[in-house]
């Protein structure tokens, strides 16, 4: 008995179309947009515009916002194919997966007119101003504050780990607007341009390459009511929606499965010489890929009905984090047996090394795995009452 993940003929045709576009527009040795080579970012930006021209970038968005009104399952196909091929959309997945949908839900008509068309066209990059030096996993403890000044606010503070801040045009910024009894209260979301002189970005070098980690400083950044997303002091409710979208928006299992499936072909006759224990771990990882895919599909269905809960997203996040790390270890052991010199082998080795590096960071990205376990535990305890 096996699980059938077949989404039907239209989804299969969409996969073929996406793979053809990747083959035609993305170099075979592409390892993502965030390398030391600026040409890689150019590839991603060009590919985003190509997807947009084919109405594939924001496939499931409503037509009035620049999408094609497709199903969430077709958008899931896009997520899977993009992540399997090193996310050639670059940083655009953030705008497509959650910034845009959140603005659709909570933004004013003016905000929707300003922000949604550029995202749908692949012309703008967003960053997320959430984590701070003393408020990472405990985000509600943030210190960045917006103090009233006339008809607006002045924002001062620091964010850290801010991916894409050096290239982003806009920031989805969380700041404290009111001191409240509960730290989750009195928080507000602002949509702010990154070219404002009151914002300073300092890159943080890391093993994943440039653009992933940055410090961002706000020195009396002026914002107004027009920059507020949703309701003043009620930003935490939006944050909860963001995390549920963000944590399932990346189909990590797709890349794991692609690399695992490629291993026997890359090794050729050497595959049968691998220790039985290693091949057993390889099979187990493929099984875990299927499990993660099934969990992702369950949450996609919940999202489509508006019923996704923090515990659901946390359970998926835990599963894919473990899959990332465990599969990376298996793949590194397999890579040790690869014969160098074969172009396909070199591609595999580069992909595996990159996957391993990313897997080390997955423990803390998008909320640490420890915090995900706490969220899941709270959800299970609440359900048991």
Query: How would you classify residue 150: left for phi > 0, otherwise alpha for psi between -120 and 50, otherwise beta?
Result: left
Alpha helices by DSSP H, the chain? 9-25, 38-53, 72-84, 92-94, 100-106, 109-120, 235-248, 252-267, 276-304, 310-335, 343-361, 369-384
Q: Residue for token digits 């703008």?
A: 124
Active-site annotation holder among 132, 246, 257, 351: 246
Between the alpha carbon of residue 71 and those of residues 225, 304, 308, the distances in Å are 34, 9, 17
Whether 246 is catalytic: yes
Kindly report the number of other CB atoms within 10 A of residue 222's CB atom: 15
Name the token pair of 84. 């399997």
For every residue of 182-246, DSSP letters joined together read STTSSEEEEEEETT-TTEEEEE---TT-TTS-EEEEEEEEEEEGGGEESSTTBHHHHHHHHHHHH
Just list the catalytic residues: 246
């Amino acid at each position: 008995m096996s699980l059938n993940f077949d989404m039907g003929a239209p989804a299969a045709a969409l996969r073929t179309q996406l793979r053809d576009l990747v083959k035609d527009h993305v170099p075979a040795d592409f390892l993502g947009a965030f390398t030391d080579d600026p040409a890689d970012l150019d590839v991603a930006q060009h590919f985003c515009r190509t997807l947009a021209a084919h109405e594939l970038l924001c496939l499931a968005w409503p037509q009035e916002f620049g999408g094609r009104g497709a199903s969430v399952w077709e958008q899931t196909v896009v997520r899977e194919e993009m992540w399997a091929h090193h996310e050639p959309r670059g940083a655009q997945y953030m705008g497509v997966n959650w910034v845009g949908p959140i603005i659709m839900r909570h933004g004013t008509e003016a905000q929707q007119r300003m922000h949604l068309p550029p995202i749908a066209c692949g012309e703008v990059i967003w960053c997320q101003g959430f984590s701070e030096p003393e408020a990472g996993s405990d985000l509600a403890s943030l210190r960045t504050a917006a103090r009233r000044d006339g008809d607006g606010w002045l924002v001062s503070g620091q964010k850290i780990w801010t991916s894409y801040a050096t290239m982003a045009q806009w920031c989805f910024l969380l700041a404290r607007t009111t001191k409240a009894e509960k730290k989750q209260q009195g928080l507000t979301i602002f949509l702010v341009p990154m070219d404002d002189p009151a914002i300073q970005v300092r890159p943080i070098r890391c093993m994943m390459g440039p653009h992933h980690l940055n410090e961002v400083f706000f020195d009396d950044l002026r914002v107004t009511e027009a920059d507020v997303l949703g309701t003043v002091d009620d930003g935490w409710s939006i944050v909860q929606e963001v995390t549920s979208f963000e944590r399932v928006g990346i189909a990590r299992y797709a890349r794991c499965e692609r690399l695992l499936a490629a291993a026997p072909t890359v090794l050729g006759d050497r595959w049968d010489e691998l220790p039985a224990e290693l091949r057993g771990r390889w099979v187990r990882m493929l099984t875990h890929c299927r499990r993660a895919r099934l969990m992702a599909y369950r949450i996609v269905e919940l999202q489509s009905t508006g019923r996704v809960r923090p515990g659901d997203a946390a359970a998926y996040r835990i599963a894919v984090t473990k899959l990332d790390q465990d599969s990376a270890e298996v793949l590194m052991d397999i890579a040790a047996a690869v014969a160098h010199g074969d172009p396909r082998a070199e591609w595999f080795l580069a992909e595996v090394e990159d996957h391993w590096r990313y897997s080390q960071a997955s423990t803390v990205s998008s909320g640490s795995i420890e915090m995900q376990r706490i969220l899941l535990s709270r959800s299970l305890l609440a359900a048991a009452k």
